[in-house]
């Protein structure tokens, strides 16, 4: 066993800064969409592709990005992807029209998807033993916090640079962060020692990409009738997924390197359970930010900044809990995830009740305490679950394992956002009352979180029946 790299913690800080930036771009743009629409003279359907396009290409490239890192070297892939992400951020900010902006966002999402799996792969390479659990805790905290602070960051940027002309700074803010991270990564990341063969499974990449696209496209277009007009893509996704699995097994039988080694699911302890928990939790967790933004801005007349500040307690609770949970997961294991999911469910249910009964602008202040509780729970879910899911993955599969896990979370985000938005608008259309709409949507989120809770409890019981090391 080689001595650990003395620069490993500094290298982790650099990779997480870049990862935070790419994940933040999933949500930060939401609050700036009205500004972009007004400044560029775009229609509502077209401007939505600024968000949808990024989500699509991000989700499509995650597994391929992980495989490329495993095969060609994580440092190389990290530097290339980060460079492209910085460049496309500049292009998005400089967009003179909607077409330019959407194309830049498609390329930016592709770069983000290639960048993200390198983070988990580098942790596998740089850390061992208990330190690996702490490092995965940092990764989990990055994922959770980046999702939660996006609305706040977007609101602050628009407040500082003005509305509507300040929207380019939602993208330009990536430039100094990305350039500093690029310089430090070149100095701190270890030289590549590729862990796999350089041949890339192009057929598998196309089949998996088509499968993910067929799942995500109706979901990200749900607000413009995607679920009714594109429903036929769901059965197509099942057929494509079946073909993908057949092809991957065929490659393994022939002794070639598949895009996704299916032994990741059959021979890696905790991976299937953790991926399922992550998928279910992100269905409930990620969808709440859109309905919160609509409720506070359209329902209560909050500014984008005020709307972001109303959900800040969640981000604060999540940040604190993630730092603590990363250190406890080695001793508590799956129990900490169960407790975290309980706190999320109770916190969101309490927020629903408060928003239903507290009138007017005071609602934002009244939800602070239950939002902190939900945030603490979220910090105790994402960080430990990431650790428990990836810690037993062999180094040769580390990149693709992280890509698959993130793909599940992106699909969960799309499912949750479409579901909660549909529930919110259905109740709003039927009652005309924003408090009723947000309350029902939040109880729907609690139901989705309960699915993750059931999976976590099942995994906890199984772990107690099979002692570690036995």
Residue 449 or 430, more confident? 449
Cα 423 from Cα 108, distance rounded (Å):
31
Q: What is the pLDDT of residue 470?
A: 42
The answer to whether residue 344 scores a pLDDT higher than 50 is yes
Task: Return d(Cα 139, Cα 387) in angstroms, integer.
Answer: 8
Q: Are 285 and 416 contacting, i.e. CB atoms less than 8 angstroms apart?
A: yes
Asked if residues 278 and 401 have their Cβ atoms less than 8 Å apart, the reply is: no
Residue for token pair 């603490």:
376
Residue 407: which H helix or E strand, with range? helix 398-431
pLDDT (tens digit per residue) in 49-85: 787 778 778 877 888 888 888 878 888 999 999 999 9
Residue 57 DSSP SS3:
helix
Across residues 423-431, what is the average pLDDT? Answer: 88
CA separation for the pair 184, 168 (Å, rounded): 26
Percent of the chain clearing pLDDT 90 (strictly above):
23
Pair of tokens at residue 361: 């602008």
Whether residue 24 is predicted with pLDDT greater than 90 in this model: the reply is no
Residue 7 confidence (pLDDT): 84
pLDDT for 467: 52
More confident residue, 359 or 115: 115
Q: What is the pTM of this model?
A: 0.79
Mean pLDDT of 124-141: 77
Confidence of residue 373 (pLDDT cuts 50, 70, 90): very high
User: In the prediction, which pLDDT does 217 show?
Assistant: 77
The H or E element containing residue 206 is helix 202-220
> What pLDDT sits at residue 368?
92
Query: Which of 332, 413, 324 is closest to 137 using CA atoms?
Result: 324
Query: Quick one: average pLDDT of 407-435?
Result: 84
pLDDT tens-digit readout, 279-321: 899 888 877 887 888 888 888 888 877 887 888 888 888 878 8
- Cβ pair 158, 35 in contact under 8 A: yes
Enumerate the domain spans of the chain: 8-191+259-463, 201-258
Residues 6+ apart with CB under 8 A from 15: 78, 118, 119, 122, 185, 189
Lowest mean pLDDT across 135-139, 141-145, 222-226, 406-410: 222-226
Cα dihedral value 15, 18, 23, 26, nearest 10:
-170
Report the alpha-carbon distance of residue 61 to residue 175 in Å, rounded. 22
| Least confident segment among 181-195, 198-212, 236-250 | 198-212
Q: Is residue 261 scored above 80 in pLDDT?
A: no
Tokens at 319, concatenated: 């940040």
Q: How far is Cα of residue 241 from the mean position of the Cα atoms in its chain?
A: 22
Of 108-112, 178-182, 381-385, least confident by mean pLDDT is 381-385
Lowest mean pLDDT among 112-116, 197-201, 457-461: 197-201
What pLDDT score does 469 carry?
46
Average pLDDT (330-343) is 90
pLDDT at 361 over 60: yes
State the average pLDDT over residues 171-182: 91
pLDDT of 431 > 70? The answer is yes
Phi/psi of residue 164, nearest 5 degrees:
-100, -5
pLDDT band at 198 (very low <50, low <70, confident <90, very high): low
Statement: residue 452 has pLDDT above 90? yes
* CATH class entry, domain 8-191+259-463: mainly alpha
Taking CA atoms, 424 is separated from 7, 81, 299, 329, in Å, by 48, 37, 12, 36
Higher-confidence position of 450 and 68: 450
Q: Find out whether 147 and 381 touch, Cβ atoms under 8 Å.
A: no
**Would you state the structure tokens that stand for residue 191, as one six-digit string?**
């030289």
Range from 149-153, 203-207, 248-252, 420-424 that averages highest in pLDDT: 420-424
What does 286-338 look like in DSSP terms, one character per residue? HTHHHHHHHIIIIIT---HHHHHHHTHHHHHHHHHHHHHHHHHHHHHTHHHHH
Q: Report how far apart, in Å, the C-alpha atoms of 356 and of each of 94, 160, 370 are.
A: 42, 32, 14
Q: Which of 116-125, 162-171, 222-231, 346-355 has the highest mean pLDDT?
A: 346-355
């Amino acid at each position: 066993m080689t001595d650990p790299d003395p620069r490993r913690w500094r290298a982790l800080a650099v990779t997480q800064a870049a990862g935070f930036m790419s994940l933040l771009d999933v949500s930060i743009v939401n609050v700036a969409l009205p500004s972009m629409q007004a400044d560029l003279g775009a229609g509502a359907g077209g401007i939505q592709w600024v968000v949808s396009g990024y989500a699509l290409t991000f989700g499509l490239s995650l597994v391929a990005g992980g495989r490329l890192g495993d095969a060609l070297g994580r440092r190389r892939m990290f530097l290339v992807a980060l460079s492209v992400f910085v460049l496309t951020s500049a292009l998005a900010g400089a967009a003179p029209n909607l077409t330019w902006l959407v194309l830049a966002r498609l390329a930016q999402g592709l770069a983000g998807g290639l960048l993200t799996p390198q983070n988990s792969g580098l942790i596998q390479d740089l850390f061992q033993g208990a330190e690996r659990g702490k490092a995965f805790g940092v990764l989990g905290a990055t994922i959770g916090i980046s999702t939660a602070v996006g609305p706040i960051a977007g609101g602050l940027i628009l407040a500082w640079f003005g509305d509507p002309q300040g929207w380019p700074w939602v993208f330009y803010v990536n430039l100094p962060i990305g350039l500093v991270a690029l310089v430090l990564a070149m100095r701190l990341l270890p030289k590549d020692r590729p862990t796999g063969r350089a041949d890339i499974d192009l057929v598998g990449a196309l089949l998996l990409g088509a499968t993910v696209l067929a799942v995500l496209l109706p979901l990200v277009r749900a607000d413009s009738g995607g679920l009714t007009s594109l429903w036929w893509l769901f059965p197509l996704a099942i057929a494509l997924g079946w073909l993908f699995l057949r092809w991957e097994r065929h490659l393994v039988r022939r002794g070639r390197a598949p895009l996704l080694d299916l032994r990741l699911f059959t021979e890696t302890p905790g991976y299937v359970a953790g991926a399922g928990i992550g998928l279910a939790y992100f269905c409930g967790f990620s969808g709440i930010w859109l309905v919160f933004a609509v409720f506070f801005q359209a329902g209560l007349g909050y500014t984008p900044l005020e709307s972001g500040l109303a959900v800040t307690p969640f981000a604060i609770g999540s940040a604190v809990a993630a730092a603590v949970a990363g250190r406890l997961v080695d001793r508590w294991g799956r129990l900490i995830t169960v407790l975290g999911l309980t706190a999320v469910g109770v916190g969101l249910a309490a927020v629903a009740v408060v928003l239903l009964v507290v009138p007017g602008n005071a609602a934002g202040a009244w939800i602070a305490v239950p939002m902190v509780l939900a945030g603490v729970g979220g910090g105790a879910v994402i960080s430990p679950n990431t650790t428990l899911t990836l810690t037993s993955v062999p180094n040769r599969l580390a990149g693709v394992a992280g890509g698959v896990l993130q793909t599940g979370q992106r699909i969960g985000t799309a499912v949750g956002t479409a579901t909660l938005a549909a529930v919110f608008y259905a109740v709003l259309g039927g009652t005309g009352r924003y408090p009723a709409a947000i309350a029902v949507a939040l109880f729907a989120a609690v139901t989705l979180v309960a699915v993750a809770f059931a999976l976590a409890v099942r995994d906890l019981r199984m772990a107690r029946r099979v002692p570690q090391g036995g």
